[in-house]
Each structure stands twice: as structure tokens, then as C-alpha cells.
Amino acid sequence: MPNLFDRVFGRSSPPANKSSGSTAKERLQFVLIHDRMNIPPEKLEAMKREILEVISKYVSIDDEHVDIALQQRDRNSLLIAEIPFLKTNEGIEKEDPKRESDDDL
């Protein structure tokens, strides 16, 4: 609730104490990325899911820390993906080349 002081001096206090100017910027950042790529958010989500599915076929993914997002560099769009693997990935743990060579000797 805006108090009397805020109201008198024209300071609005929207939820989360955020100014509408920064809300405008955030909303535009999101919408411009999708406008420029000509890809709606649902399609992007589907693409992300598919990418993860493909990777999951080969290695176990640490789902909780996956971060795939569109970014803008100048006026170009990039898909930046951070896809951490789980430490328990069998392929990595079991085939330790060092140990193998030890055995060979």
C-alpha cells in the first residue's frame, strides 16, 4: 500500500517495489528476443526439451542446473546453453584412462 507521503509526491509503489520503467525494460527484453527470432516462447521451450532429450541419450544431465536461454549480442540472437552432467555418469567414472593404463602394465 502506498502511504500518504508516496501518494502526495507521486511515487508509485507497485508490487515487489519495482518501478514501471524497469518492468517495461524487462518485458521488452523478453518480447524483442522472440520477435527477432520469430520463435514463440512455446516453440522455444519445445526446442530446449528436445535438445536435452538428445543429450540425455548419451550422458546423464544434472537437470536442476540446466540453463538454456536466448541472449542478444548487439542485434544478433544467440542460444546459450549450460548443461552440466551428473558426476555419476557411468561413462566418465568407469573408463578412467589412467587406471586402464595401470592395469595394462
Partner 1 sequence: MGGKVITITSGKGGVGKTTTTANIGVALARLNQKVVMIDADIGLRNLDIVMGLENRIVYDLVDVVEGRCKARQAMIKHKTFPELYLIPAAQTRDKTAVSPADMIQLTDGLRTEFDFIIIDSPAGIERGFRNAVAAADDVLIVTNPEVSAVRDADRVIGLLEAENKGPGQLILNRVKQDMIRRGEMLSPEDVTDLLAIKLIGIVPEDETVIPSSNSGIPVTLNDKSLAGLAFRNIARRLLGEEVPFIQLSESKGLFKRIARLFAGGER
Q: Which is nearer to partner 1, 7 or 36 (CB)?
A: 36
> Would you list the DSSP string of 19-35?
-HHHHHHHHHHHHHHHH
**Smallest Cα–Cα separation from 84: which of 97, 67, 104?**
67
Q: Which is nearer to partner 1, 21 or 97 (CB)?
A: 21
Nearest distance in Å: CB 12, partner 1: 7
Q: Which is nearer to partner 1, 34 or 48 (CB)?
A: 34
Chain contacts with partner 1 (rule: CB under 8 A) = 10-12, 19-22, 24-25, 27-29, 31-32, 35-36, 72, 74-75
Nearest distance in Å: CB 71, partner 1: 12
Please give the distance of CA 34 from its chain centroid, rounded to a whole number: 15
Nearest distance in Å: CB 25, partner 1: 5
Quote the CA–CA distance of 65 and 82 in Å, as a whole number.
Answer: 8
Nearest distance in Å: CB 39, partner 1: 14
CB 14 within 8 A of CB 20: yes
For residue 100, the one-letter residue type is E
